[in-house]
Structures are given as structure tokens and as C-alpha cells.
Amino acid sequence: MILTRTNKEFYKNILIVSLIFIIDRVSKLYVINLSKLNSDIEIFSSSFLNIIVVWNKGAAFGLFSFNENDLYNIFSGFILLVIIIVLILVFKSKGVKRLSYLLVFGGAIGNFYDRIIYKAVPDFIDFHVGNFHWFVFNVADIFISIGVLCLILIELFYKNYEIE
């Protein structure tokens, strides 16, 4: 009975991470292909949202961007270490906390895949108000941000309670 419950939980976790990865891949491939067809980085533009392709070699939201190959590889190794730590936290947690870590893990896997394949992460969602632009981001970043926000809320409001 315990083994069956564990297997079901494992398959649910795999399904969640796989769905996040697939949604992220499909969105990135779609935008990359649109940009190639249009021969332009700007695909869509409105008064508050632009869809543009920006190749991010840095961390989240383009922070710590650099061109040095060795430094890029060291930074990617550090990101892989963080992903492994998040995976360990997935196994050690349960309930909403586990789901939050799964969101972070799924998004991180999507962005890490791009780091390996493209040597950069394609970001394409550009929110702006007038001339103020937020960092350009992608679907994986959305899942990571939601997961981190949930973890923060859990720590702030439910630290002494077990959330299922």
C-alpha cells in the first residue's frame, strides 16, 4: 500500500515537471520560429506588452550576463548544483511546499536545457508601462517565480503549520 502511494506521488511529480517543461519548450520554440520567419526580434508590440526574442546568457531576468566561456560554464555548473538542491528539497517536502518546489524545479530544468542546447536562454515576454520595461522573461521564469512566491508565503504565514 505504501509503495503504491509512493509510486502515484512519484508519477504525479514527474507529470507536473514534464508539463512545465513541455509548455516552456513549446512557447520558446514557437517564438524562436516566429522571429526567424519575421527576420526580426520584435514579434508583437502593444501599449503594455511586447513579444521579442532576447538571448539571455546570465541568470534570472538577464542578471549577471557575460560572454566569457569559462565563466559561463562555471556559472552553469553552479545553476546545476542549485537544481540538484531543489530536487532534494522536492523529495524532503510534501503538499503545497512540494508543489512549489516542483514549479521551481520544472522551470529551472527548462532554462537549464536551453543553456546546454543554445548556450543562452531565450526570453521573450516584455511588460512595460511607457518607457519603463520590466526584465524580459519566459514561461519557465513564470513557473520559477510562482514557486518561489509560494515558498515565501508558506514561510511567512504557515511556518508553524504543516500544509498538505
Query: What residues are labeled active site?
Result: 123, 141
Answer yes or no: are the C-beta atoms of 150 and 157 closer than 8 Å.
no
* CA dihedral over 142, 62, 131, 149, signed as positive or negative: positive
Tracing cell 514579434 back to the chain, one arrives at 43
C-alpha cell at position 75: 556559472
Q: Which three cell numbers stand for residue 128?
A: 512595460
Q: How far apart are CA 107 and CA 18, in angstroms?
A: 10
Between β-strands 132-133 and 121-129, what pairing exists: parallel, antiparallel or unpaired?
A: antiparallel
Grid coordinates of 51: 513579444
